[in-house]
Amino acid sequence: MLPQEIIRHKRDGQRLPAFEIAAFIEGVTSGAVTDGQVAAFAMAVFFNGMNRDEAVAMTLAMRDSGDVLDWSDLPGPVTDKHSTGGVGDNVSLMLAPIVAACGAYVPMISGRGLGHTGGTLDKMDAIPGYASQPDIALFRKAVLETGCAIIGQTADLAPADRRLYGIRDVTGTVESVPLITASILSKKLAAGLQSLVLDVKVGNGAFMEKSRDATALANSLVEVASGAGLKVSALITGMSEPLASAAGNAVEVRNAVDFLTGRLRDRRLEDVTLALAAEMLQSAGLVSSNQDGMRRATETLASGRAAATFARMVAVLGGPTDFVERPEKYLPRAATEVAVKAPADGFVTGIATRDIGLAVVGLGGGRTRPDDKVDPAVGITRLLPIGAEVQAGDALALIHARSPLDAEAAAATVLSAYAIGGSKPPADKTVIRRILPRG
Ligand code: URA
């Protein structure tokens, strides 16, 4: 069938049968469908949506556009997590080793920063020598020997998504629930998972700021993943303040190492990490209840086994063998450090989280163009959480910058992102809701 006929059907609000979707996606992969046709198709889906069957067909067609990894030689369940992204969200760096140390295998294929949000892949690249884009043999070796490997997407996994995403990015068609769903899940299915936990963020630092939108995306992801044969659940978690007290690349890696070794555990980060770990262990069939999962994850973290797993993963993938013992020896440090001072006595009553992420991008820790090089050393640490009591002149945060000028600009952004008020605000829930497939 001609691509323009398939586009017409969706333009006119028809439901597309699986074979039409498969034919269109095949054309996206082979190049038989032009950029203009891909854009028109994406816009037709943006306006007319897709039902669950169409979204499942689209997800499976995109999964099958490239290699699908096979982990059937592994002696345990294969599982992963996907987060819709936020600021100070370094959960993956702790979650993968915690869950792996509990007996699951976590081949975690992660992405680069997008807009104001950080990317796990950029964070791992801050570790000298770490092969964040290894060949498949080294990826398999790391997963088999350590239980987890955090790496970037290879060109062979879901290539249709790569092309479609690039076109959506420049045609105003990113924010479509079925297109986001198929994009995320096709890559996860191509990674050969048996189960998946989704962390859908909501709040002023998330892509979905409103609860209604986050819930719609979580429902779509859970229903389509389940329809495509994955065991799946989702947590909706709060992103109305940075999750860790650090935002940036090397600084978030340092924060993760400190979390694993017990030197520093930011409370909200710990809540989300353990809740996701419990969820992953349960959907992987390693524990019989969520409570049991929480207990196993907490014990594994406290025993130091998760820290040891992270250390082995870093070493197998080419990083320093003593990275966890001496992260300060290896992580790059920015030339300038400047404290952001509280302007008045009171409590932190709110944080414009997106602006904190944009301040990191402004420092050079994220990208404004796809081919920008990220500076791993810059970022922000000691970010005070909502509810913290301060006196005028206390540090709200510490900026790590390449130059005093950059530091000044970031400090001004962070200062205006913090609201200070006279009374302590009630604590927000970190884990807001759990979503399971219907039926
Ligand atoms: N992340 C993805 O991988 N795809 C989307 O469409 C949006 C976020």
**Cα gap 276→278, rounded to integer Å:** 5
* 153 vs 259, higher pLDDT: 259
Given 3-state DSSP classes, what are the helix, strand and coil percentages for the chain, each rounded to the nearest 5?
A: 45, 15, 40
On whether residue 404 sits in a domain, the answer given is: yes
Q: Is residue 439 part of a domain?
A: no
CA 380 – CA 371 distance, rounded (Å): 23
Residue type at position 228: A
Q: Which residue has the tokens 């996206």?
A: 28
Q: In the chain, how many domains are there?
A: 3
Tell me how far the alpha carbon of residue 180 lies from the centroid of ligand 1, in angstroms: 5
**Residue 25 placed within a domain:** yes
Q: Which residue carries 């295998």 as its tokens?
A: 105
Note whether residue 73 is domain-resident: no
DSSP string over 199-265: EEEESTTSS--SHHHHHHHHHHHHHHHHHTT-EEEEEEEE-SS-SSS-EESHHHHHHHHHHHHTS--
120: domain CATH number? 3.40.1030.10
Nearest to 133 by CA among 157, 99, 115: 157
Establish whether 267 is a catalytic residue. no
* Ligand 1, atom nearest to 183 Cα: 4
The reply to whether 318 and 341 lie within a common domain is no
Residues sharing a CB contact under 8 Å with residue 261, sequence separation 6 or more, in sequence order: 304, 307, 324
Catalytic one of 120, 146, 195, 245: 120
3-state DSSP call for residue 323?
Answer: coil
DSSP string, 16-77: PPHHHHHHHHHHHHHT-S-HHHHHHHHHHHHHH---HHHHHHHHHHHHTTS-----TTSSS-
Residue 371 has pLDDT above 90, yes or no: no
Cα 102 to Cα 285: distance, rounded to the nearest angstrom: 11
Nearest CA to ligand 1 atom 6: 180
Q: Are residues 317 and 368 in the same domain?
A: no
Do residues 318 and 337 both lie within one domain? no
pLDDT tens track for 79-109: 999 999 999 999 999 999 999 999 999 999 9
3-state class (DSSP) for residue 430? coil
DSSP string for 290-312: HHHHHHHHHHHHHHTHHHHHHHH
Nearest ligand 1 atom to alpha carbon 165: 6
Domain stops at, among 262, 293, 327:
327
Structure tokens at 63: 């999964």
Q: Which of 45, 112, 183, 196 to mutate to test the pocket of ligand 1 (most atoms within 8 A of CB)?
A: 183
Q: Give 183-204 pLDDT, tens digit per residue.
A: 999 999 999 999 999 999 999 9
> What pLDDT is recorded for position 47?
98
What CATH number corresponds to the domain at position 401?
3.90.1170.30
In a domain, 67, yes or no: no
- Which member of 10, 63, 81, 162 is catalytic? 81
231 catalytic per annotation:
no
Distances (CA, A) of 428 to 238, 239, 259, 350: 8, 10, 22, 11
Annotated catalytic residue 329: no
- Domain interval for residue 305: 79-327
Catalytic site includes residue 80 = yes
- Catalytic annotation present for 83: yes
- Find all residues with CB under 8 Å of 358, minimum gap 6, and list them: 116, 413
One domain, residues 251 and 139: yes
Interval between CA 172 and ligand 1 midpoint (Å): 13
Looking at the structure, do residues 382 and 277 belong to the same domain, yes or no?
A: no
Q: Which residue's CA is the nearest one to ligand 1's atom 3?
A: 184
Which CATH number do you get for residue 44? Answer: 1.20.970.10
Please give the DSSP secondary-structure letter assigned to residue 342: P
pLDDT (tens digit, 9 = 90+) per residue, 265-302? 999 999 999 999 999 999 999 999 999 999 999 999 99
Residue 114 has pLDDT above 80, yes or no: no
Residue list, ligand 1 pocket, CB within 6 Å: 165, 174, 179-180, 183-184
